[in-house]
């Protein structure tokens, strides 16, 4: 058995372990960050439980720490008090990026972790099965309910050889992206194996599992071995260590092999993480910005390496270089060990421990100027500059670029000698920015500033539905069309009445007002409806406005799941030609909804056009129960009450 199946088997609560079949797994730990956390906790509160039922839940603040208005500050107060009330550990703003702090202080080999952030798989670097999900899924996991996924295929990656000087974990994952693309991991868990694993430090492993998210993988995992034991012991947590590995004769659904001896420094060119080439092939390109940080490469080892490369040298005068320590632990240690002075002396700008420029919170690069970053994503515009040119590389390559003012392979800089910073024997342990909850938080008052509003609940499905078609849309409508993000909208993430005023803003700004006056409504769309990000507000806010059904030619997978979670009927045309027979404003009526959902097919009468046609509702038994209850929150609430 491979390691993935060992952990899945130990946590399976329902379903069969067979690729594609739905399984429910027990979740040991959860994490949230501020951008998704407020909604996850509002949803958890709506379930009416006195306390979380996980072994450990942690709430981080790392994404948006700008306090240019009251909204983020309100959210931080809410997050701290709700954590205290419900038994959740709170990591204060400034304590660090969720994935860096979680690996340092909480991750446990062999356990499961569900986080409302796509880079949650980072903790797979020490043998944990760690997955990203929507906020509601995390809220449900906090309630002790299983997390449902289609059983993934397991992609084995056999590592041989050893990393050569100036190569790092970043080059391993960039090589994976070069070979497999950003879709190569879809429906898969990537499991690292082979003799080369033993040569990779914990820090390298975390970089690799972090960016497995860019492969589209469900998660990535390394065995838990002596390197893992050393890392945990250096964090004062050796008692959390257990040895874990695949059986010697383990089988994998697919297998790829990477020879670490043959790896060279790589770089992802604009504007996709899989646009990977050798650094040498783009050497000489002028660079105006270098950023080291993010949950991918901001460990103590990463920053110490950068500092040693910069010691006694100077950042090129045409380059603005920022350094973000991934956590307070990293920050305090580089100060203690003198590396902070090296960075400052060389001309770096130091940012607080947070996501910062990775999520476009400051340090947007100049238009058309090349920015080389140690981060994980370089999608166009993510930096905050719409015409950006962002490259992704290791901290070593970043420093080579900062010193020379152009893209450079450190192997080609004669003044540099290879540097290898080992994992410290003892990390500096100072948990005073973690707030641990009291044994009983019942008396804690949750602080709700004016930006915190209760999460609305859907109404259970009735036997018939009659409503107007308020919008008729074409193909490839994205979640950005449905519920845009951006600096104006994001601070309203905990306030559904306010954020719902932006629903379909880019398509039809009158939609919110028309939806409110209609009471209940139907949206019609073409193919691939709801593509793009996983944001659950694209289902929650339309539900709040009274959208009861979305009728399309086809759905994007995650958005369809979100519609089910929020009690909106996801319907598809049995015959796509019927799409042409519907006009905006038509009044549709569906009778026998409950029987139709059980049969997977419903009859729709178009009262305006005087026609009838068939639609499909291909729901699993579990999804049907969610829809009948009026969404997952209602279902869980009623189950808890039983």
Which of 28, 34, 117, 409 is labelled catalytic? 117
Question: Under a CB-based contact definition with an 8 Å cutoff, are residues 23 and 10 in contact?
Answer: no
Question: Under a CB-based contact definition with an 8 Å cutoff, are residues 232 and 125 in contact?
Answer: no
Kindly identify the residues of this chain, within the stretch 111-150, that bind ligand F3S according to CB under 6 A.
Answer: 117, 119
Q: Is 367 exposed, middle or buried (0-12, 13-18, 19+ CB in 10 A)?
A: exposed
Among 218, 294, 320, 534, binds ligand F3S (CB under 6 A): 294
Determine if 299 is a binding residue for ligand F3S (CB under 6 A).
no
Among 291, 295, 398, 590, binds ligand F3S (CB under 6 A): 295
Which H or E element spans position 433? none
Q: How many CA atoms lie within 13 A of 641 on its CB side?
A: 9
What are the strands, taking DSSP E only, across 450-517? 465-472
Determine if 358 is a binding residue for ligand F3S (CB under 6 A).
yes
Q: Which is nearer to ligand F3S, 151 or 297 (CB)?
A: 297
Among 180, 263, 359, 398, binds ligand F3S (CB under 6 A): 359
Cα dihedral across residues 407, 410, 412, 415: positive or negative? positive
Question: Under a CB-based contact definition with an 8 Å cutoff, are residues 419 and 309 in contact?
Answer: yes
Residues constituting the chain: 642
Q: How far is the CB of 531 from ligand F3S (least distance, A)?
A: 20
Question: Under a CB-based contact definition with an 8 Å cutoff, are residues 254 and 155 in contact?
Answer: yes
Q: How far is the CB of 98 from ligand F3S (least distance, A)?
A: 6
Find all residues with CB under 8 Å of 338, minimum gap 6, and list them.
none
Q: Is position 119 annotated as part of the catalytic site? A: no
Q: Which residues pair with 521 in a beta bridge?
A: 547
**Binding segment (CB under 6 A) for ligand F3S, from list 69-77, 270-278, 351-359, 557-565:** 351-359
Q: Which residue has the tokens 């948990």?
A: 431
Cα–Cα distance, 342 to 334 (Å, whole number): 10
Q: How far is the CB of 104 from ligand F3S (least distance, A)?
A: 15
Cα–Cα distance, 325 to 350 (Å, whole number): 8
Which of 105, 230, 535, 559 is labelled catalytic? 535
Question: Under a CB-based contact definition with an 8 Å cutoff, are residues 600 and 574 in contact?
Answer: no
Determine if 355 is a binding residue for ligand F3S (CB under 6 A).
yes
Q: Is position 481 annotated as part of the catalytic site? A: no
Q: Which is nearer to ligand F3S, 97 or 176 (CB)?
A: 97
Q: Is position 63 annotated as part of the catalytic site? A: yes
Query: Closest by alpha carbon to 79, among 54, 49, 57?
Result: 57
**Binding segment (CB under 6 A) for ligand F3S, from list 91-99, 343-351, 365-373, 528-536:** 91-99
Q: How far is the CB of 374 from ligand F3S (least distance, A)?
A: 10
**Binding segment (CB under 6 A) for ligand F3S, from list 94-102, 146-154, 404-412, 466-474:** 94-102
Q: Is position 535 annotated as part of the catalytic site? A: yes
Pairing outcome for strands 587-590 and 254-259: unpaired
Kindly identify the residues of this chain, within the stretch 374-413, that bind ligand F3S according to CB under 6 A.
Answer: 376
Q: Is position 377 annotated as part of the catalytic site? A: yes
Pairing outcome for strands 266-268 and 188-193: unpaired
Q: Which is nearer to ligand F3S, 65 or 355 (CB)?
A: 355
Kindly identify the residues of this chain, within the stretch 44-83, that bind ligand F3S according to CB under 6 A.
Answer: 62-63
Which of 199, 272, 527, 533 is labelled catalytic? 533
Query: Closest by alpha carbon to 61, among 433, 343, 544, 484?
Result: 433
Count of residues that interact with ligand F3S, criterion CB under 6 A: 13
Q: How far is the CB of 120 from ligand F3S (least distance, A)?
A: 9
Question: Under a CB-based contact definition with an 8 Å cutoff, are residues 298 and 352 in contact?
Answer: no
Q: Which is nearer to ligand F3S, 324 or 565 (CB)?
A: 324
Cα–Cα distance, 267 to 96 (Å, whole number): 26
Q: Which is nearer to ligand F3S, 154 or 177 (CB)?
A: 177
Q: How far is the CB of 299 from ligand F3S (least distance, A)?
A: 13
Determine if 175 is a binding residue for ligand F3S (CB under 6 A).
no
Enumerate binding residues for ligand F3S (CB under 6 A): 62-63, 97-99, 117, 119, 294-295, 355, 358-359, 376
Residues involved in catalysis: 62-63, 117, 377, 533, 535
């Amino acid at each position: 058995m491979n390691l993935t199946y060992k952990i899945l088997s130990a946590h399976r609560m329902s379903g069969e372990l067979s690729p594609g079949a739905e399984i429910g797994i027990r979740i040991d730990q959860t994490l949230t960050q501020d951008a998704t956390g407020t909604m996850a906790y509002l949803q958890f509160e709506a379930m009416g439980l006195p306390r979380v039922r996980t072994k450990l839940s942690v709430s981080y603040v790392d994404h948006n720490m700008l306090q240019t208005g009251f909204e983020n500050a309100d959210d931080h107060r809410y997050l701290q008090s709700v954590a205290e009330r419900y038994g959740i550990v709170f990591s204060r703003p400034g304590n660090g990026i969720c994935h860096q702090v979680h690996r340092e202080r909480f991750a446990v080999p062999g356990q499961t972790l569900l986080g409302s952030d796509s880079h949650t798989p980072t903790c797979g670097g020490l043998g944990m099965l760690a997955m990203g999900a929507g906020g509601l899924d995390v809220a449900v996991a906090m309630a002790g309910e299983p997390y449902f996924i289609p059983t993934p295929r397991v992609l084995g990656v056999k590592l041989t050889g050893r990393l050569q000087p100036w190569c790092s974990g970043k080059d391993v994952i960039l090589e994976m992206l070069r070979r497999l693309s950003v879709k190569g991991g879809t429906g898969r868990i990537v499991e690292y194996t082979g003799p080369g694993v033993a040569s990779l430090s914990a820090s390298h492993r975390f970089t690799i599992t972090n960016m497995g998210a860019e492969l589209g993988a469900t998660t990535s995992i390394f065995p838990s071995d002596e390197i893992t034991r050393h890392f945990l012991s250096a964090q004062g947590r050796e008692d959390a260590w257990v040895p874990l590995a695949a059986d010697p004769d383990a089988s994998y659904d697919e297998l790829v092999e990477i020879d670490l001896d043959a790896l060279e420094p790589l770089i992802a060119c604009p504007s996709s993480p899989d646009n990977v080439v050798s650094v040498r092939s783009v050497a000489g390109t002028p660079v105006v910005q270098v950023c080291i940080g993010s949950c991918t490469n901001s460990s103590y080892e990463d920053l110490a390496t950068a500092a040693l490369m910069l010691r006694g040298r100077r950042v090129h005068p045409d380059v603005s270089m920022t350094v973000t320590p991934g956590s307070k632990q990293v920050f305090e240690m580089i100060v203690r060990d003198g590396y902070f002075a090296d960075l400052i002396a060389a001309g770096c700008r130091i940012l607080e421990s947070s996501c910062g420029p990775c999520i476009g919170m400051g340090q947007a690069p100049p238009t058309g100027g090349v920015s080389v970053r140690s981060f994980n994503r370089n999608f166009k515009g993510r930096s905050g500059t719409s015409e950006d040119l962002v490259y992704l590389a290791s901290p070593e390559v970043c420093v080579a670029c900062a010193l020379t003012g152009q893209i450079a392979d450190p192997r080609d800089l004669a003044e540099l000698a290879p540097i290898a910073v080992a994992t410290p024997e003892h990390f500096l342990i100072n948990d005073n920015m973690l707030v641990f909850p009291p044994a009983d938080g019942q008396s804690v008052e949750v602080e709700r500033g004016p930006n915190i509003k209760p999460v609305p609940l859907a109404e259970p499905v009735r036997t018939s539905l009659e409503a107007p078609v308020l919008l008729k849309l074409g193909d490839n409508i994205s979640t950005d069309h449905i519920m845009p993000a951006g600096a104006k909208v994001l601070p309203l993430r905990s306030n559904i009445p306010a954020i719902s005023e932006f629903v379909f803003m880019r398509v039809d700004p009158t939609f919110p007002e028309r939806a409110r006056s209609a009471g209940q409504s139907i949206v019609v769309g073409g193919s691939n409806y709801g593509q793009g990000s996983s944001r659950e507000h694209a289902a929650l806010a339309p539900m709040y406005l009274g959208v009861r059904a979305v009728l399309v030619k086809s759905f994007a997978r995650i958005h369809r799941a979100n519609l089910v979670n929020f009690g909106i009927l996801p319907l598809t045309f049995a015959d796509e030609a019927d799409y042409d027979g519907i006009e905006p404003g038509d009044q549709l009526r569906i009778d026998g909804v409950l029987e139709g959902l059980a049969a997977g097919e419903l009859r729709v009468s178009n009262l305006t056009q005087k026609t009838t046609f068939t639609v499909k509702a291909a729901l699993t038994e579990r999804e049907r129960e969610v829809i009948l209850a009026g969404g997952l929150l209602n279902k869980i609430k009623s189950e808890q009450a039983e």
